[in-house]
């Protein structure tokens, strides 16, 4: 596959996906995605995005929790 923006090759990788929901940081690990070798743009399949949505909505339990330091500038 090729990146739609810079027309470079995509490689399959497992990445961390982070987002904030209602003030809470959520980290999802081992997310399969296509990553552009040139610019790093990520492409997620529809079923991966559906799984992320189910995870965020609380339909799946967290495998573990970690403390994260927060800094302000």
Does residue 7 have a pLDDT over 90?
no
What structural domains and CATH numbers belong to the chain?
1-46 (3.10.20.860)
Answer whether 43's CB lies under 8 Å from 57's CB.
no
With cut-offs at 50, 70 and 90, classify the pLDDT of residue 16: very high
Summarize the confidence of residues 4-33 as an average pLDDT.
Answer: 92
Give residue-wise pLDDT tens across range 32-60: 999 999 999 999 999 999 999 988 888 78
Q: What is the pTM (predicted TM-score) of this model?
A: 0.80
With cut-offs at 50, 70 and 90, classify the pLDDT of residue 14: very high
């Amino acid at each position: 596959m090729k990146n739609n923006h810079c027309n470079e090759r995509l490689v399959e990788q497992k990445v961390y996906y982070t987002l904030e929901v209602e003030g809470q940081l959520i980290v999802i690990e081992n997310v399969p995605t296509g990553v552009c070798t040139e610019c790093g743009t990520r492409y997620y399949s529809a079923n991966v995005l559906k799984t992320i949505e189910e995870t965020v909505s609380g339909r799946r339990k967290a495998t573990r929790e970690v403390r994260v330091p927060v800094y302000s500038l």
